[in-house]
Structure 1
Amino acid sequence: MNSWFKSYKGIIFLMAGIIAGSIAGLFLGSKVEVIKPIGDIFLNLLFTAVVPLVFFAISSAIAALDASNKLGRLLGITSLVFVGTVLVAAVITIVAVWIFPVHQHLVASPVTEAIIKKPIGDQLTHLFTTSEFYELLSRKSMLAMIIFSVLTGFATLRSGPKGAAFASFLHGGNEVFKNIFILIMKLGPIGLGAYFAYQVGVFGPQLFGGYARSMALYYGVGAFYFVVLFSVYAFIAGGLKGIKKYWKNNIIPSATAVGTCSSIATIPANLDAAKKMGISDVIANVTIPLGATLHKDGSSISSIVKMAVVFALFGKSFNSAETIAIALAMTVLVSLVEGGIPNGGYIGELLFISAYGFPPEALPPAMIIGTLVDPMATLLNATGDTVAAMLISRFSTGKKWMEGES
């Protein structure tokens, strides 16, 4: 009994904090705003640690490779898995929209946040690069920082014996920041409990407004995808043992994802879970940070739901072959350009509204839905990265990738 409690006490305390916070939010409503700073402090600690953690994880993983084409093959398999799962999520949602049409009498509500439109060239430049080194330290520049981490890893690899000291520094930094995450997560029951209390107390009632039907569709499809499709992916990766290992180690990443509404904040939990699942450090340290930025099954589902709602609002059909083809292409594109920070998907709304030729009035309802589905979307986006890493392990190293793991 003591051994069992020792193994699971972290999960038990975390879930107890989340449940207590949710109950407090349910009964106290907006009064729980007073404890929001506790959750914010916890999130700030996570966000502060995650940028250096991702840098050291990626650069040290690449620096540890041999000089063969192993990384190129790994990235190729990673790309296929990411795109494949995003398209599966989109197709399932399209079928669900056909079976359960969204309500035709939605009312577009105003959104107070300003949206600044920039030329697509400027957006891509800012997405992939920064003009100053210090800007790489911001989580808003995650993709640029990941690219820089890859370059640093390759440069270290090319330096050979002369770069051995720097390679040792990268490996040491990776270990140090993994332990920083472990220390921060000891505050998880309090921090996530406070954040759940705030979310349930303040935002819970919005789910029962005029967008209830589209919310029900999204959360229904999302729950089905989370339970069924992730289990299918885990089975493909490792059979029944793969399913068991995935769900056994997916509790803390799931709680972190829902509590923080951030794929980036879930990276440390995913890296720790991936190790327990038997995924090698090289695969985990490359694919999971990339997945947090580029792999978004939840955003794929929300993109289709947003499109269906906007089409319904403007009295247009969502059934033509051309419309579906554009929708599938947009889901892949949105998965690439959306940020891993809370409510960072507004670029996606702008993209599909422009692609279909809708007027600016189509933006507010799409943004409202994006905000309301954010917890489930982040859950799918973030926890989909570990099951994707399992698939990548299976396809890159063979059926016996879990051999020797407990």
Structure 2
Amino acid sequence: MKCWKGENMGKKKIWESYRSPLILLGGIIAGAILGVVLGEKATVFEPLGNIFINLMFTIVVPMVFVSIATAVGSMLNMKRLGKILGSLMLTFVVTGCFAAVLVLVVVNIWSPAANTAIAMESAKVQESASISSMIVGSLTVDDFSGLMSRKNMLPIIVFAIISGLAVSACGGEESAVGKLLENLNRVIMRIVEMIMKLAPIGLGAYFANLIGKFGPQLIGDYGRTMLIYYPMCLVYGMVFYPAYTYFAGGRMGVKKMLQNILDPAVTAFATQSSVATLPVNMKACKNIGVPEDISNIVLPMGATMHMDGSVISSITKIAFLFGVFKMPFTGMGTYAMAVLVSILSAFVLSGAPGGGLVGEMLIVSFFGFPGEAFPLIATIGFLVDPAATCLNSSGDTIASMIIARFVEGKDWLLKGEKNKKGEKNKIEISC
């Protein structure tokens, strides 16, 4: 009887951990089956898919603005905190760039969309302009109404940062505007949660329409993408992460990382949530010897901003869409924009429910792909999410070690060991 109860409790825990992705996967599979069975008649589901996509695009602008303005407006102004935050930003961006370089090399050798069965019209490429006009056009708009469009994502982010700094100067989170932003952020996140409940139906309907139009051979394109993505994650985790920890703490750092990284990695892979992995990451950092004030700041921010796995998946998705729309994924300008969008989307996600879908909307918006591109990469996003979250959360622990070196000096790990021994001796003497 006890054994049966234990098995039942285990099943409940598995269901709680996997409920959301299983329901979403069920919707996509159901849509795929309907598309195969009904064929072209499955286009009747297209309006349902379009409604979901339109809802997601509608919420993205207020979500990005309010979340960034709230985060910047509530920042404290202390010297050590400033050093931690500066090191944090540098670490997140640099590791994201390394991840981006790896995936750019790989997708140029093995294209995720090679021999794709999806035939869509080529997206229009804008005429080349001068560097100065590109910078002005990318970062600003000539009218406030321009900030209401998802097509102007960078100006929205710039204006949100400026607004956040102004709120911080006027009292921060304790001011009336700061409290208003905090409450607005909660409301918007709740709206996102409500929209995300429609995801299994919306994506299932769109996928049914897609399979009905292009046939079951479409699934083969996703299989190729998975065969490219998962080995990339394995290489990044086994080569780059040990290199980062060697920089952070030498051989001792690598040893401690290997001893403590498994729990966060497995938890992240199972739950597919960086936030859910936070307690495990906190324990891992404590065992490694990362100062608590550093891990307490870096890990929560890393759970929403440091996403090397998501950077890899973002560029994979971008390369996939370029192949689908018969556009050449070449040139330094294209690569630079891909890196910028992938890192920026990781920063903008901010722990939003269905944050991966938000990042996919940014990809579609920045590159000017039609709305039909969104469900294609949304499906890829779901398939790569376990590995991406595993890299993201494991990377937070490693980022904490790197930031500890910047803040405490290169001998931070040895100092931590001495402090631990000192505390043990004090306890023994007192006993």
- Aligned: 1:310 with 2:321: yes
Q: Using the alignment, how far apart are the partners of 2:335 and 2:276 within structure 1?
A: 33
**TM-score of the aligned structures, taking structure 2 as reference length:** 0.59
**TM-score of the aligned structures, taking structure 1 as reference length:** 0.62
Q: Using the alignment, how far apart are the partners of 1:312 and 1:74 within structure 2?
A: 41
Q: Using the alignment, how far apart are the partners of 2:275 and 2:292 within structure 1?
A: 18
Q: How far off its partner does 1:278 sit? A: 0.7
Query: Unmatched 5+ residue regions in structure 1?
Result: 1-20, 22-31, 45-61, 110-117, 142-206
Asked if 2 retains the 8 angstrom alpha-carbon contact of 1:343 and 1:370, the reply is no
| Partner deviation per Cα, 1:276-331 (whole Å, 9 max, x = no partner) | 11100010001110110111101100000000100010111111111111111101
What is the letter of the counterpart of residue 104 of structure 1? A
Q: How far off its partner does 1:210 sit? A: 3.4
Aligned residue for 1:325?
Answer: 336
Q: How far off its partner does 1:81 sit? A: 0.4
Q: Using the alignment, how far apart are the partners of 1:396 and 1:360 within structure 2?
A: 44
- Aligned: 1:101 with 2:111: yes
- Aligned: 1:83 with 2:58: no
From 267, 280, 288, the equivalent of 1:269 is: 280
Asked if 1 retains the 8 angstrom alpha-carbon contact of 2:103 and 2:232, the reply is yes
- Aligned: 1:70 with 2:45: no
| Partner deviation per Cα, 1:132-166 (whole Å, 9 max, x = no partner) | 8678789958xxxxxxxxxxxxxxxxxxxxxxxxx
1:373 counterpart SS class: helix
From 287, 292, 297, the equivalent of 1:281 is: 292
From 344, 347, 367, the equivalent of 2:355 is: 344
> Residues 378-389 of structure 1 correspond to what in structure 2 (within 5 A)?
378-389=389-400
Q: 1:75 to 1:350 in 2, by over 3 A?
A: same
Q: How far off its partner does 1:344 sit? A: 2.0
- State the identity as a percent: 38
Q: How far off its partner does 1:42 sit? A: 6.0
From 301, 314, 320, the equivalent of 1:290 is: 301
Asked if 2 retains the 8 angstrom alpha-carbon contact of 1:292 and 1:340, the reply is yes
What is the letter of the counterpart of residue 346 of structure 2? S
> Residues 224-303 of structure 1 correspond to what in structure 2 (within 5 A)?
224-303=235-314
What is the letter of the counterpart of residue 83 of structure 2? R
1:211 counterpart SS class: helix
From 206, 218, 223, the equivalent of 2:229 is: 218
Deviating more after overlay: 319-328 vs 384-393 = 319-328
Aligned residue for 1:6?
Answer: none
Q: 1:138 to 1:389 in 2, by over 3 A?
A: farther
Deviating more after overlay: 305-314 vs 317-326 = 317-326
From 38, 57, 68, the equivalent of 2:13 is: 38
Q: How far off its partner does 1:355 sit? A: 1.6
What is the letter of the counterpart of residue 72 of structure 1? G
Q: Using the alignment, how far apart are the partners of 1:133 and 1:393 within structure 2?
A: 30
Q: Using the alignment, how far apart are the partners of 1:234 and 1:119 within structure 2?
A: 41
> Residues 190-229 of structure 1 correspond to what in structure 2 (within 5 A)?
209-229=220-240
Q: Using the alignment, how far apart are the partners of 1:324 and 1:331 within structure 2?
A: 11
Q: 1:140 to 1:272 in 2, by over 3 A?
A: farther
| Partner deviation per Cα, 1:160-212 (whole Å, 9 max, x = no partner) | xxxxxxxxxxxxxxxxxxxxxxxxxxxxxxxxxxxxxxxxxxxxxxx984311
Query: Unmatched 5+ residue regions in structure 2?
Result: 1-6, 20-74, 120-147, 165-177, 191-217, 421-431
Q: Using the alignment, how far apart are the partners of 1:389 and 1:224 within structure 2?
A: 21
RMSD value, Cα = 3.6
Q: 1:257 to 1:68 in 2, by over 3 A?
A: closer
Q: How far off its partner does 1:131 sit? A: 4.3
What is the letter of the counterpart of residue 396 of structure 1? V
1:104 counterpart SS class: coil
Q: 1:136 to 1:36 in 2, by over 3 A?
A: farther
Asked if 2 retains the 8 angstrom alpha-carbon contact of 1:222 and 1:376, the reply is yes
- Size of the aligned set, in residue pairs, is 284
Q: Using the alignment, how far apart are the partners of 1:135 and 1:307 within structure 2?
A: 32
Asked if 2 retains the 8 angstrom alpha-carbon contact of 1:302 and 1:377, the reply is yes
| Partner deviation per Cα, 1:350-396 (whole Å, 9 max, x = no partner) | 21222222111111111111010000000011110010110001111
Q: How far off its partner does 1:38 sit? A: 3.1
Q: How far off its partner does 1:399 sit? A: 1.3
Q: Using the alignment, how far apart are the partners of 1:321 and 1:94 within structure 2?
A: 11
Q: 1:333 to 1:78 in 2, by over 3 A?
A: same
Q: Using the alignment, how far apart are the partners of 1:393 and 1:303 within structure 2?
A: 28
1:360 counterpart SS class: coil
